[in-house]
Structure 1
Amino acid sequence: MHVLSVGLNHSTAPLAVRERAAVGAEHLEDALADIARREHIAEATLLSTCNRTELYCRVDQRGISAATNWLCDFHQLQRNEVEPYLYAFPDQQAVRHAFRVAAGLDSMILGEPQILGQMKSAFAKAHRGGHTGKVLNRLFQTTFSVAKEVRSTTTIGAQSVSVAATAVTLARQIFSDLSKQTVLLVGAGETIELVCRHLYAQGVRNLIVANRSAARAENLIAEFGAQAISLDELSTRLPDADIVISSTASTLPILGKGAFETALKSRRKRAMLVVDLAIPRDVEEQVGDLKNVYLYTVDDLQQVVSENLQARQAAALDAEKIVDSQTHQFMQWFENLQAVPTLTELRDHTSELTESELAQARRRLRAGEDAEVVLQHFAHALSRKFMHNPTESLRQNQDQDFLAATRELFGLPPIDKN
């Protein structure tokens, strides 16, 4: 039995590869059900965000190959297309990786808190679907506890450098006074809500939210006074926008080069900042070729975050110590868990031997034999049976490590080599 984490992220794979490996929320249940049908994978949780797609699972010896094959098969990818970008962390490495991800230590933006909520959501969906068990339940409960400890005892989250905050920082660098700009937000999910919050804090009041679900956009209208429009109205309102920030779950681009060309004509060439936070991308790559359009993707944002990272780097050292300590504790539990079947069988075997000798001793006592003689025979016979298998194993295996392990198992002092 092993714990395994297989996946790719912003550090190992370019945006084009991450797009192809992403699993949208609408496909998550199907993906988990497909994983459950695979041999060698017993428990599974799937985390897919704009920066990573990772499968956490409990597997047998052939689990790494099974998990990697699933990732390729589900997305209809050739293994050689994905394998150069994949990592596979077994056991202690997998546990440590999960803790680091939840704490924001493995994020594009060090210490960003959004990943913890995404991990909680991923685990909740897997748990509700019956895809987790004793090992992953314990792993993720501990993961969330570690993230909480890191947040509460270090300063890693003291300065906001989340993707949403970084997008707003970028806008502030291009437009010195954001309060005078009109911002068009495409989508109404958690990322856009965070962007809204940061923009509002910077004095932005001209907010337009385009989304498929009017109900979801209503929340942003109520809290931030935004105007809500449908996605069908995007092209007509695009010329009004100085800043466009998009983050939807669409599998295809929803903003093309032609729409921006038309918008620029209406704007008389006034510059537009476009920040595409979606995976797969919401904005066609060719939009970046247009004069007076400044297009940034999630990969580009890494260049903007250096201002607040130095303080977080120092805090990350403290966070890593917490992660290492908790990883050690979890692995102790996991290794003990793996010993349970052996311990159970050993106890059953010992009980069976004891009951057999006790039954014989009772018969002899009922027959009137001397109790002292019966007890001595019982003790000798039981000792002989207990020691038979260990004695035979020691006779057949003279390896020094095996001998040392046996002495430790039976509480004997180490051999004095002097």
Structure 2
Amino acid sequence: MKIYFKGVIYMDNEANSSISWQAALDHMQEQDLSRALEILLEMVGYEPDNIALINLLADCYYYLGEFDRAKACWDEVLRLNPANQEAKAKLGRYRTPSFQSWLKRYKQALYNIEQKNYELALRILRDLMEENDGFVSVYQFLGLCYMAQSEFEQARLVWDKGLSRDRGNETLADYLQMTTESQPAPELAPTGPEELVNNRKNRAFSGLRLASALLVTICLLLVIKMTGGPELGSRSNETPPVAQNEAVRTESTLSSERDETPVFSEGLLSSESSQGGAEYDSERESSYYLQGFKAYKEGNFKQAENNLKVVVAMESQSYLNREALYYLARSCYLQKDYGAAEQYYLQYLEQFPDTNYYDDSLFYLGVVYHSIGQKEKAIAAMKEMERVSPNCGYESSDLFKSIMNNS
């Protein structure tokens, strides 16, 4: 069976004709890649030579972090139609030196997880996320590295963020559930303050560490499955050359950080000299971002706006700065403060091209213009979104159709 048809059962009839493009596109638009993948795999079982289906399947695999399967899909499309421009363009980007460098380091991170070198794997994964934060598997493995080092809250935050990229991801949901169920019940009748603290600590860490051990075991099995080929599996006692250099750098720079590492520290927040000058404070940035993002998730958009504005004002150009700017724009949009939302979406498009929320920002900028009656600008934003990110899923939305029908 072809690699990109993982899990496909070929059908002799079309009993499940209700499965549709629309359902898959809706799931992709709703950031539910796993469910979209299920539908596409079943559809391609009926139409194994459908080029458009295979291209969509490749997109799902790619953003889930199953890069070999994505490449196999594009290769298959070009076998069926050597002139297919979508597959040629995406395979071309996949083969660029910059992405191949990213992919090599990603495999090094998985290798280090397999070797239980979680600290180095964590640092590599954070660096990779700074460069490209759109791959679900990076969140999965980064959270497991935090878990392996008993940094439980950071693991939960990373997995929760991963679920915002793939809402139906059962693996991430299971990880979160296991860590939540491992939390201790509240003490009803403590015998004394000191004993209460000690008991609570012991119970919390024993439960969480049990969950940690189980999750890390699962992680190792998954990594071994993904990297079990000769490229990484034959060097069980040796760190790859680039990773060795990373290890030297890690040993010399981590001595002051071993007790506590913020969720997105250092690897994602570059040095002061390059981000915001002497006024830049990565801990302060991280603190305000986490408060703002928590408020956003809870629907307290005004509080989210107030906290995220502080992060954006730092102008660090870091991963957190980028995330804060997008969620600040969203918070203003959801409060129907369209003037501020327009300002922040435009700022995001200018400062962070070719990043994860670029197409989202174009779409919602178009919706903002539509809401304030600027039809030409709304249509222009939607057309630009189509150009830079075809098949992103927004094209199937009622808002998109409503705006474009006025063109």
TM-score relative to the length of structure 1: 0.31
- Higher Cα radius of gyration: 1
TM-score relative to the length of structure 2: 0.31
Greater per-residue helix proportion: 2
Greater per-residue strand proportion: 1
Higher normalized contact order (CA 8 Å, seq sep 6+, divided by chain length) = 1
